[in-house]
Chain A
């Protein structure tokens, strides 16, 4: 089945720890995105990538890092510099930036211990 796979579903972070959220797609999409969602809030863009080995900061990139070494994969690292990391993280992909719909993964809930 084609789609986007996020793992893990739930993740816990200790103080001062970096954690990495996985996002893999087999849709052959060029563009991939990371959004953060807080309770009762809309989705806020963290980073996006239009092509392999290139990515751009979104509205709330501070405290996060990404890589795009393969077309299929766009992992997100939540660093210790992100002081309020508890949120629901959503990965998405599209055929390219612009007039395309987004396909979302099922999300990762990150909580701080």
Chain B
């Protein structure tokens, strides 16, 4: 069966450090992978999309890698801030189908 797995344990880090979140998948052949941020009681907000032919993508303090051989994406937030505290969701689909989401990883950045 298809699975999207993210760290189930919450990630607690100190302000200024780099947070690294993992997304692993099985039985998908995704053309792309997306990352979203979700705050409590709110809808997810799109952050980044990375395509299968892209190894890495950056946006401000965010960096995403995509390894289709390992079937894994890593999501990094550098110089983390308390405002980065949220749940981060990985999402992907087989081409032409609706997005499926992982359960998300909760990030807490403490001052």
**B100 lies within 8 A of chain A by Cβ:** yes
Tell me if B46 and A42 are in contact (CB < 8 A): no
For A33, the closest partner residue in chain B by CB is: B98
Interface string of B5-37 (1 = CB under 8 A from A): 000000000000000000000000001101010
Taking CB atoms, residues of chain A closer than 8 Å to B51 are 99
Decide if B49 is an interface residue (CB 8 Å cutoff): yes
Interface residues on B, range: 20 to 34
Name the residue in B31, B98, B99 with the highest tally of chain A Cβ atoms < 10 Å from its Cβ: B98
> A99 touching B43 by the CB < 8 A rule?
no
A42-B4, A99-B32, A99-B49 given; A107·B43 CB < 8 A? yes
Q: Which residue of B lies closest to A48 (CB)?
A: B98
Contact residues on A (Cβ < 8 Å of other chain), bracket:
20 to 34
Determine the residue in chain B with the shortest Cβ distance to A104. B43
Q: Does B111 contact A (CB under 8 A)?
A: no
Pick the contact of B103: A42, A90, A99 (CB < 8 A). A42
In the bound complex, residues from chain A placing their C-beta under 8 Å from that of B99 are: 33, 45, 102
Question: Which residues of B79-98 are within 8 A (CB) of A?
Answer: 89, 91, 95-98
Are A105 and B43 in touch, CB under 8 angstroms? yes
Starting from the known contacts A45-B100, A58-B98, A88-B41, 20 additional A-B residue pairs (CB-CB under 8 Å) come to A33-B98, A35-B101, A42-B89, A42-B102, A43-B101, A48-B98, A90-B43, A97-B97, A97-B98, A99-B32, A99-B51, A101-B46, A101-B49, A102-B34, A102-B36, A102-B44, A103-B46, A104-B43, A105-B43, A107-B41
